[in-house]
Amino acid sequence: MPQRTVYFVSDGTGITAETFGNSILAQFSAKPRHVRRPFIDSAEKALQVVQEINETGVREGKRPIVFATLVNREVLGIVRSQCQALVMDMFGTFIEPLEEEFQVKSNHRVGRFSDVARSQEYHDRIEAINFSLAHDDGQSARNLDQADVILVGVSRCGKTPTSLYLAMQHGIKAANYPLIPEDFERAALPSLLQPHKKKCFGLTIDPDRLSQIRNERRPGSKYAELVNCHYEVREAETMMKRAGIAWLSSTHKSIEEIATTILRDIRPDRLIY
């Protein structure tokens, strides 16, 4: 099957073009080649990328698809007029109706991330990452009262990546705390968590999947054994149910989906800003 290439062209990082373009492409079964071309912020760079795109089209015998998030008018003009490609001008398409709605002209600022590095919001994100790292896997009980969320669950159910994602993308101070066999023997939530039950959120996982993940880490260990995984998951779920902690299964969910559910369920305020 002939190859076809999709370009994400931006005068910023191109992350927006790529995120949005990929979610549109997910609607098609075709698997084109993806190329991101960030920081295309001058006529010279525009001409270079246009040449690359046009050569690709000739080579593949199919015109490329270009998702463009270009604020720079000159660059956008070159890409629109000279690319032998299907150009999806993502900003232009939506900015005009918004200018009409707001009754103001847009200010052509390049990049969603420009100048953010010194903003309070950015500072809070970095602080949240530091907090989540310091409170990974129950490492520290200090300042748990400052946590926005405390993820609980058995070892290797997805707590760490979810905490880091919540911190990095949403500036959420997300601690995570493992539930371990000793807790199950005592049949009680770790005492450190007792005062913070309201901000606890549980993750669980299919025991077969857990066993598979643990076997990658410690092949053949009791820790990874299917029967042990069944035991731990069952005990953890019982404990969370008794403590009134909401939980979800990470088995078929990405960290993005888990994080969004947690926000919706225990910090709906953070979906409004």
| 262 contacts 161 by C-beta, under 8 angstroms | no
Any contact of residue 90 with a copy of itself (CB under 8 A)? yes
155 is in an annotated binding site: yes
Residues 41-70 interacting with a copy of itself (rule: CB under 8 A):
63, 65, 69
d(CA 164, CA 50): 38
Sole residue written with tokens 């007792």: 194
- The correct pick among 1, 61, 81, 104 for binding a copy of itself (CB under 8 A) is 104
Residues 4-33 interacting with a copy of itself (rule: CB under 8 A) = 12-16, 19-20, 22-30, 33
Question: How many of the chain's residues bind a copy of itself (CB under 8 A)?
Answer: 80
Q: Which of 145, 152, 136, 229 is nearest to 190 (CA)?
A: 152
Token pair 């931006």 is at which residue?
A: 10
Tokens of 255: 């960290």
Q: Annotated binding residue at 156?
A: yes
The whole-angstrom separation of Cα 244 and Cα 232 is 18
Select the span of 43-51, 143-151, 235-243, 246-254 touching a copy of itself (CB under 8 A): 246-254
Please, which residues bridge with residue 7 across strands?
Answer: 35, 66
Interacting residue with a copy of itself among 58, 73, 113, 218 (CB under 8 A): 113
Which of 108, 218, 234, 242 forms a contact with a copy of itself (CB under 8 A)? 108
Residue 46 near residue 103 (C-beta atoms within 8 A) = no
Which residues inside 149-178 make contact with a copy of itself, applying CB under 8 A? 158, 160-161, 164-165, 168-169
Binding residues for ADP: 153-160
